A = this chain, B = another copy of it.
Amino acid sequence: MSVIYDKVALIGLGLIAGSISLAARRAGAAGRISGTARSARSRSAARSLQLCDDITDNAAAAVRDADLVVLCVPVGAMGKVMAEIGPHLKQGAVVTDVGSVKQEVIEQVTPHLPAHVHFIPGHPLAGTEQSGPYAGFAELFENRWWLLTPPEDADPAEVSRLRRFIRALGANVEDMEPGHHDLVLAVTSHIPHLIAYTMVGVADHLTRVKETEIIKYSAAGFRDFTRIAASDPTMWRDVFLTNKEPVLDILGRFTEELFVLQRAIRMGDGEYLHDYFTHTRAIRRGIIEAGQDTDAPDFGRSAKPPAGKVD
């Protein structure tokens, strides 16, 4: 495959940046990759993995002459990072990000964007519960979705070039409106994560049941909650703080719905429960028939790191 961007700069060196670098190299999609991270530990890990061609603690140096800059920091740090690199961006550079929330990132980043730069926000729907440079692997994006939320006045040629780069990493690209993205992700990812955190917290408080016992016997449900609840705390704190409205909206609906089921249990209303469960089963069957899922359970984490990677 041919080089799509002569120089790619990765701001932040965690699981996603590491995987982008490995996947871009494998595809030959980047001429040169520079990386920067605030933490000395991340930089030194990335260096020992030879994750980038050059690694610096100076974000301004990292983005110099870069044709593509990818912001791979937690959502809450995007604005600050953009303010830092803005003045050093190459004329006509493309800036994208990998944040799980889009409206807030756009609001944070836009004020610091030089006029000569193209900002095309993005979000790869891929990850594991691991974090840090060691967690990256080249296959992370294979057959996963990577959503872009290009502004209406985005340069079509630059959007199309970024799409080609993302496809070269193995992902499927689709466009979405930022507000819609944030609502869809609240349902599909943010609330399920919050539920998993909550359930693990509940189990931890139980004194009558040992944790080891809970894990040992969790044949149907709990074990993957603990996996999800091991996701990066900073990233997820920022997701909840910056996607507050959709999260609180869906959460309100969720507890409302849960209370109705709870009341049916308390009242012994078997008919209500049976009807409800029959309906959700029909939804699942509709999904299978629509070819949207297979019988292979993976909790959305089918892309697995190669053996031997540890964090």
Q: Report A's interface with B, CB cutoff 8 A.
A: 76, 125-127, 129, 144-145, 147, 180, 183-185, 187-189, 191-206, 208-209, 211-231, 233-234, 236-238, 240-241, 244, 247-248, 250-251, 253-255, 257-259, 261-262, 265-266, 268, 270, 273-274, 276-281, 283-287, 290, 292-293, 295-301, 304-305
Contact = CB atoms under 8 A, between A and B. Distances in A.
Contact of A189 (B213, B222, B233, B234): B222
B224 A299 contact: yes
Contacts of A236: 273, 277
A244 B220 contact: no
B127 A198 contact: no
Between A188, A212, A301, the greatest number of chain B beta carbons within 10 A of the residue's beta carbon is seen for A188
Contact of A229 (B244, B250, B274, B277): B277
Given A185-B217, A251-B262, A211 B277 contact: no
A147 B218 CA distance: 12
A280 to B, nearest CB: 4
B221 A192 contact: yes
A192 B220 contact: yes
Contact of A188 (B201, B214, B290): B214
Given A193-B221, A212-B292, A201 B257 contact: yes
19 contacts: A125-B217, A145-B216, A145-B219, A188-B214, A192-B225, A197-B277, A198-B257, A199-B254, A200-B280, A202-B253, A222-B300, A223-B299, A224-B298, A226-B293, A237-B270, A241-B270, A244-B268, A251-B262, A295-B304
Contacts of A212: 287, 290, 292
Contacts of A258: 194-195, 198, 251, 255
